C-alpha cells in the first residue's frame, strides 16, 4: 500500500485570521472612505474659490454650487463604496 500524503497549499499553512485583524481591516476601509469624501469636497471648494477669483463675481456662485455638487458626489461615492451586506 502506498502512503498518500496530501500536499499542503499556501492557504493551509497560514494561521487563521484573528478577529482583531478583521476589525482593523474595516477600520482602514472606512477611514479611507472618509478621506475620499474629504478629498472630493475639498476639491469642489477649491475649484469654486478659484473660479470665483477668476471671474471676480460679487456673490460666490461657483463656491456655493461646486461645494454643493461635490458634497452630493462625495455622498454618492460613499454609498456606492459601502459593502453590500
pLDDT at 66: 97
- The per-residue pLDDT of the chain, averaged, comes to 83
Three-class DSSP category at 47: helix
| Contact by Cβ (8 Å): 78, 37 | yes
Q: What sections of 17-60 are H helices per DSSP?
A: 19-55
| Mean pLDDT value across residues 24-47 | 91
Residues of the chain with pLDDT > 90: what percent? 48
- Tens digit of each residue's pLDDT (9 = 90 or more) over 43-72: 999 999 999 999 998 999 999 999 999 999
Residue 29 confidence class, pLDDT cut points 50, 70, 90: confident
Amino acid at each position: 500500500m502506498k502512503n498518500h500524503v496530501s500536499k499542503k497549499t499556501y492557504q493551509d499553512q497560514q494561521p487563521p485570521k484573528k478577529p482583531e485583524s478583521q476589525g482593523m481591516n474595516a477600520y482602514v476601509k472606512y477611514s479611507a472612505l472618509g478621506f475620499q469624501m474629504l478629498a472630493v469636497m475639498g476639491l469642489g471648494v477649491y475649484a469654486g474659490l478659484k473660479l470665483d477669483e477668476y471671474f471676480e463675481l460679487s456673490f460666490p456662485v461657483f463656491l456655493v454650487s461646486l461645494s454643493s455638487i461635490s458634497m452630493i458626489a462625495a455622498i454618492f461615492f460613499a454609498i456606492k463604496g459601502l459593502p453590500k451586506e
